[in-house]
Amino acid sequence: MRKILPLLLLATAALAREVWLAPASYRVAVGTAVPVRLLVGDTFAGQAWPRPTRRVAQFVRYGPGGAADSTDLRPALLADSLAPALRCPAPGTHVVALTSWLAFSELPAEQFTAYLREAGLGNALRQRQEAGEAATKPGREAYRRCAKALVLASQPPAARLPAATGDTAFRRVLGLPLELVPEQNPYRLRPGAGLTVRVLSQGQPVPGALVQVWQASPPTAKPTATLPVTHFTTHTNAQGRVLLRLPGAGPYLLATVRMENAPPALAARADWLSTWATLTFGGPGAPSKAY
């Protein structure tokens, strides 16, 4: 389980936490309205993301039919910011993608150094240390969020998978500032099979990226019980890929973050630009519930 340094509990609560999309179920019936929560938290335990209508720049569903098969979900978010409704009009795998506007934060030098260590942002930490800034210079940061979820829509009975032909939305590269893109459809894998996932920045591979993986086991007793969660970390190879094993139905949360020098356009407010990306999906086996 990921540990949060006491120093960061208040100062970096908004930064050192993941934001992800949590459909009520990752396997749905075609045309059924499914609420999707926008959550923020750690260890796959989240609470509602505050003020999402102010923060969300883009919120879109992409279906298996290609680029023309899409829905702007911002009207649904404006109607219900806690759990906007998603409808998948065709059978197959659908991608829900969210990007946020930039936000800004400034931390004292010691807290920013601790934050970089906690988030695994070693390159930025080394750069500050080599420049003699780690102990003295505050960390001025611009940050943004990119979140994706994969939802499988089927005709009744829901357990029956739609035909695989043309169902390639899961591997579509959306060109987000940072995104996790699976190369196989996790809903069509056998339990224990390998899943390769790419980390891409504006469509280009990111080698050496830290990827965190959480798996929540389906509840076996009370529906309100906290789901047991397993967690591990890995790094992308030179081609920006990681290899994972999916032991069961999940759901799963994958997360990565990238820190770069802020571009000149942001120089008045930030020295660093961080991009946080998540991907949630169900896995092989029984239907996966998010809550």
* Residue 123, pLDDT above cutoff 80: yes
Average pLDDT, the chain: 87
pLDDT of residue 155: 83
**For residue 275, is it within any domain?**
yes
Would you give the end-to-end CA distance of the chain in angstroms? 20
Cis peptide upstream of residue 251 (ω within 30 degrees of 0) = yes
289 domain-assigned: no
Asked if residue 54 is part of any domain, the answer here is yes
- pLDDT (tens digit, 9 = 90+) per residue, 180-198? 999 999 999 998 899 999 9
| Domain-embedded: residue 288 | no
Report the distance separating Cα 139 and Cα 113, nearest Å. 8
Contact, 278 vs 18, CB < 8 A? yes
Whether residue 3 is contained in a domain is answered as no
| Token pair 């035909």: residue | 163
Alpha-carbon gap, residue 117 to 101, rounded angstroms: 25
Asked whether residue 221 is assigned to any structural domain, the reply reads yes
Which amino acid is located at 116 in the chain? Answer: L
Determine, yes or no, domain membership for 252.
yes
Q: What is the pLDDT of residue 167?
A: 86
Give the pLDDT score at 42: 86
- In angstroms, the CA 260 to CA 141 distance is 10
Average pLDDT rounded to a whole number, residues 129-157: 93
- pLDDT value for 288: 57
Domain boundaries, position 141: 8-281
Q: Using alpha carbons, select from 13, 16, 6, 46 the residue that is nearest to residue 274.
A: 16
How many Cα atoms are found within 13 Å in the side-chain-facing hemisphere of 11? 19
Q: What total of structural domains would you count in the chain?
A: 1
135 CA to centre of own chain:
32
